[in-house]
Structure 1
Amino acid sequence: MDKTSQINLIKEFADEYSVPGFEQAMVKRFLSYAKKYGQTEVDGLFNAYVARHENNGQKPLVQLDAHSDSVGFIVQAVRPNGLIKFATLGGWVPTNIPATKVVIKNKEGKYIKGVVATKPPHFMTKEELNQVPVIAEMSIDVGSSSRQETIDEYKINTGCPIFVDATCEYFEQTGLFLGKDFDNRLGAAALIDVLDQLQGQNLAVDVTAALSSQEEVGLRGAHVTARKLNPDLAIVFEGCPCDDTFTPDWLAQTGLKRGPMLRDLDTTFIANPIFEEFAANLADKLNIPYTRSVRTGGGMNGAAIAYWNGAPTIVLGIPVRYEHTAYNWAALSDYQNAVKIAVNVLKELDEKTIASFKLAD
């Protein structure tokens, strides 16, 4: 896949609306690209699978993973004044939510623009100005003036999904993207890119890509995909949070234009250390930049997949600044290098190499 195709794919995926439980649009978009590379399937949790045309079922199976959902909201109830009380889907910091532009998919499937309402400072007391906002007290305003209008005219009521509304941009001069939901539309794009770069090549392993749902609310889709595929090995693509803007350089482990992140540990996951070193050594040999990360917070699909049957698993994180907010930064070069590592690892794998990850010499 050439540079222009990569940029267009990332922008297209980033602009799609997809929150936990409501990933249908993103899955359809993904499959429109994936069908040329293999046999596709979707389950009732909206997990999407792509088994390469070149698979023969006789070789070790490698599962590629990324997730289709991003953080968002859901309508909980409509207030008497027409404003919408909502609940979060995924992890939000309360201070990042006010004034966020959103769209709500109403009961007729139409997208309605709105904004997370804020009280003007002119009307705030000194105490209110210094308070951290409470999510349960927030509302979304779609321009309605009554509960009846919101329900009857806007067709919005309990259960409607709410998405961040932002358009992805790419800046050629800096090689950076600015947009929403890079966690994990970058990973979804990487799945397509890897399949494209390997198309027609006979590997010593079978490869199935799984775009999993509901990662942001508990890795739920990946639990299902791992059970279904029962892989011998797994490579997980993730949009991982940068710490380069607030952490001393000696401690920062994920930053823009430093290459993808190989995650050693987080609160849910410890990478298979033999597989991890295999990938790192291969990247060194090929002069592909990367960082290593030991995190005391966070979690991702690698845990759900690795802990299903003990398949050696690594995570290739594509650095994202300001995850779980309305606007993110990401570098094209980091994305490209993550794909490059995955493609070259897959070319090196065979049954004997995978077996070596399970027992040290």
Structure 2
Amino acid sequence: MDKSETIELVKKFSNANGAPGFENEPAKIFDDYCQKFGETSIDTMQNAFCKFNGNTGNRPLVQIDAHEDSVGFIVQAIRPSGLIKFVPLGGVVPTNMPASRVRVRNKNGDYLPGIISTKPPHFMTAAEKGKVPEIADMSIDVGTTSRQQTIEELQIDTGCPIVMDVTCQYYEYNDMFLGKDFDDRIGCAAVVKTLETLQRKKLDVDVIAALSAQEEVGLRGAYVTARKINPDVGIVFEGCPCDDTFEPDWLIQTGMGRGPMLRDMDTSFIANPAFEEFSDQVATKLGIPHTRSVRTGGGVNGAAITYYNGVPTIVIGIPVRYEHTEYNWIKLSDLEDSVKLAVGIIEELNKEILESF
């Protein structure tokens, strides 16, 4: 896959609609790309799998993971005015939401544009100007004037999913993408590129890759994929929030252009220490820039895979600025370095090394 093909891959995943529970589009993209790498399938939860062509069935099994969903919303009810009352799917905060563009999938499967509505400042009291409304008080405006029009003409009602409305762009001058949902669509792209690179490698392990559903609402898909795959070791790609725009340099643990981040812990997960150190050593040996992180918030699929029989698992984080908001920045070189690290780790894994974990 050359640079232009990689850029197109990232754009496709970023532009795909896939709120938790509604991941059909990213699952289909993964399936289309990966059929040449192995046996693919999509289950009823929309978890997508690729059983690698080179597998023998008698070697240790590596699960490569990324989650295909992104934070979004779901329609709770339609107000008399035609505005939509909604609830979040995943972790969002009110300060990041007003005036954002969104797409609402109606009952016919069409995505229609909308805006998270705001009161014009002309009508705000002094107190309102200094306060962010609660999510329960927000609405989405899809351009209608009545409840009947929203429900009957637009076919939007309770249960319809809502995603951010952003088209991904790549900027050559700074090697950056500006788009939506890089948590974790950039991880999805990394899984595809890893499988493509592994085709040219001689391995001592078998590989099954999976894009898991519903991570943003409790790591639900990864609990299912781990049981189905039954791995001996797990490698998770995750779009990880950058802290390089607000932390002092000595405390930055995920920075744009600083390469992959190996996550030691967060509120859900502690990496297998031996596997973590092994991966750090591989990155150093290959000259891959990387960081380590200890996080006091967040959760990752590494937890769900670890909880399945104590599988040794690491998380390779790809830096993302402004996660869980309308627009995200990522750097192409960080994606490439993350893939290099995963490939380098898998190339060196064998039965004896796994037993040392």
TM-score, normalization: structure 1? 0.98
Contact 2:102 2:115 in 1 (8 A): yes
Letter in 2 for 1:340: K
Match in the other structure for 2:22:
22
Q: Is the Cα contact below 8 Å between 1:54 and 1:201 reproduced in 2?
A: no
Amino acid at match of 1:65: D
C-alpha displacement of 1:201? 3.5
Q: Does the 8 A contact of 2:63 with 2:235 survive in 1?
A: yes
Paired letter, 2:75: V
Q: How does 1:220-235 map to 2 (within 5 A)?
A: 220-235=220-235
Secondary structure at the residue paired with 1:196?
helix
Q: How does 1:276-295 map to 2 (within 5 A)?
A: 276-295=276-295
- Number of the residue aligned with 1:351: 351
Give the Å deviation of 1:198.
Answer: 1.1
After the TM superposition, which residues 116-195 of structure 1 pair with which residues of structure 2 at under 5 Å, given as runs? Answer: 116-195=116-195
Structure-2 separation of matches of 1:294 and 1:113: 39
Aligned residues: 357
SS at match of 1:112: strand
Is the contact between residue 84 and residue 141 of structure 1 (CA under 8 Å) also seen in structure 2? Answer: yes
Q: Which residue of 2 aligns with 1:199?
A: 199
Q: 2:109 maps to which residue?
A: 109
**3-state SS, counterpart of residue 308 of structure 2:** helix
1:18/1:25 contact within 8 Å kept? yes
What CA deviation, in whole Å up to 9, does each residue of 1:312-333 have, x standing for no partner? 1000000000000000001111
Q: Give CA deviations for 1:33-56 in whole Å, capped at 9, x if unaligned.
A: 011101111111111110001111
Q: Does the 8 A contact of 1:54 with 1:200 survive in 2?
A: no
Contact 1:319–1:330 (8 Å) recurs in 2:
yes
C-alpha separation in 2, matches of 1:239 and 1:175: 17
**Shift, 1:229, TM fit:** 1.1
- For residues 132 and 117 of structure 1, what CA distance do their matches in structure 2 show? 12
2:78 and 2:150 in contact (8 A); partners too: yes
Unpaired runs of 5+ in structure 2?
none
Matched with 2:326 is 326
Unmatched tracts of structure 1, length 5 or more: none
Residue 262 of structure 2 is aligned to residue 267 of structure 1: no
TM-superposed deviation, 1:194 = 0.5
217-226 vs 34-43, greater mean Cα deviation: 34-43
Q: Distance in 1 between matches of 2:222 and 2:169?
A: 30
Contact 1:97 1:325 in 2 (8 A): yes
The CA deviation string for residues 276-297 of structure 1, in whole angstroms up to 9 with x for no partner, is: 1111111111110000000011
- 1:249-306 alpha-carbon deviations (Å, 9 max, x no partner): 1011001000110000100101011111111111111110000000011111000001
Task: Let me know the Cα RMSD of the aligned residues.
Answer: 0.8
Report the secondary structure of 1:203's partner residue. Answer: coil
Give how far 1:132 is off: 2.3
**Residue 74 of structure 1: aligned partner:** 74
Letter in 1 for 2:40: T
User: One-letter code of the match for 1:223?
Assistant: Y
Q: Is the 8 A contact 2:202 2:347 kept in 1?
A: no
- Contact 1:176-1:332 at 8 Å conserved across structures: yes
- On the 8 A contact 2:201/2:347 being kept in 1, the answer is no
Do 1:212 and 1:221's aligned partners in 2 also have CA atoms closer than 8 Å?
A: yes
Provide the C-alpha distance between the structure 1 equivalents of 2:200 and 2:300, rounded to a whole number of angstroms.
Answer: 31
CA contact (8 A) 1:256 1:334 kept: yes
CA distance in 1, matches of 2:350, 2:55: 13
- Residue 267 of structure 2 is aligned to residue 252 of structure 1: no
**C-alpha displacement of 1:200:** 4.9
> Moved runs in structure 1, 4+ residues, more than 3 A?
none
Q: Report the equivalent of 2:315.
A: 315
Q: Distance in 1 between matches of 2:113 and 2:12?
A: 20
How far residue 133 of structure 1 moved from its aligned partner, in angstroms, is 1.4
Partners of 2:41 and 2:201 in 1: CA distance: 22
**How far apart are 1:83 and its partner, in Å?**
0.3
Residue by residue, what CA displacement relative to the aligned partner does 1:110-163 show, whole Å, maximum 9, x if unpaired?
111110100001100011111121000100001100000000101100000101
Answer yes or no: is the 8 Å Cα contact 1:17–1:163 preserved in 2: yes
Q: Deviations over 1:2-32 (max 9, x none)?
A: 2222111101110011010000111111111
**TM-score, with length taken from structure 2:** 0.99
Distance (whole Å) between structure 1 residues aligned to residue 199 and residue 343 of structure 2 = 11
Q: Supply the distance in 2 between the matched residues of 1:24 and 1:336 (Cα, whole angstroms).
A: 26
CA contact (8 A) 2:78 2:158 kept: yes
What's 2:9 paired with?
9
8 A Cα contact 1:62 1:231, kept in partner: yes
Give the distance between the partners of 1:327 and 1:58, measured in 2 at CA: 44
Deviations 1:59-115 (A, max 9, x none): 000000000000000000000000000010000010111111011110111111110
